[in-house]
Structure 1
Amino acid sequence: MSGDEMAEQVRIWAGVTGFLSAASLLALVLFFALARPWGDVQAGWFWLGPTNDWLSVLGAVPWIVATILLARHARLGGAWWVLTGAVVAGIAAMAIVTLVMLAGRTTLEVQTITALPAVLLAFVWTAIATSAAVRQGALPGWVAGLAVALVVALVVGALLIGVAFLVPEGPSRVVLWVVGGVPGGLAWLGYPAAWLCIAARVS
Structure 2
Amino acid sequence: MSDVAIHPEALRDAVALTLGDKALNVSLAKDELTVVVAPEVYLEAMELLRDAPQCRFEQLIDLCGVDYSTYREVGTDGPRYAVVSHLLSVSLNQRVRVKVFCADDDLPVVPSVTGVWSGANWFEREAFDLYGIVFDGHSDLRRILTDYGFIGHPFRKDFPLSGHVEMRYDPELRRVVYEPVTIEPREITPRIIREEDYGGLHG
Greater relative contact order, per chain length (Cα 8 Å cut-off, separation 6+): 1
* TM-score using structure 1 length: 0.25
Identify, as 1 or 2, the structure richer in helix.
1
What TM-score, normalized by structure 2, do the two folds share? 0.25
Structure with the largest fraction of strand:
2
Larger Rg: 2
